[in-house]
Amino acid sequence: MNGLHELLHTVGMVDPGYKTLKNDPKATGEVVDVMNLVRRQLGLAQRMQYAPVSTPSGRMYVPFENGPSYIPPKSYGGSIVVR
């Protein structure tokens, strides 16, 4: 699924930017919306928002309708905090 998400960027689709996320932290954006369409067709859980969420302990996850999908710490270096 991550590869298909990135492939959609190659045809000009974008994720929500900083301003959008500041006003609406739960924004999905056009790529996540298309990916959620694919997920629906495959019977998979929907991604609830574009931005990852940081736990109090610093772990990061992407919220899906069936629960969090934790991001391995090596992929973000622990330096990104989205509240």
Residues that bind Zn ion (CB under 5 A): 15, 31
Name which of 33 and 57 has its Cβ closer to Zn ion.
33
Closer residue to Zn ion (CB): 5 or 59 = 5
Q: Which residue is nearest to Zn ion (CB)?
A: 15
Task: Please report how close the Cβ of residue 60 comes to Zn ion at its closest, in angstroms.
Answer: 15
Residue 6, helix vs strand vs coil: helix
Contact 62, 50 (CB under 8 A): no
Question: Considering beta carbons, is residue 47 or 56 the nearer one to Zn ion?
Answer: 47
Q: Measured between alpha carbons, how far is residue 73 from residues 54, 58, 69, 77 in Å?
A: 11, 9, 12, 6
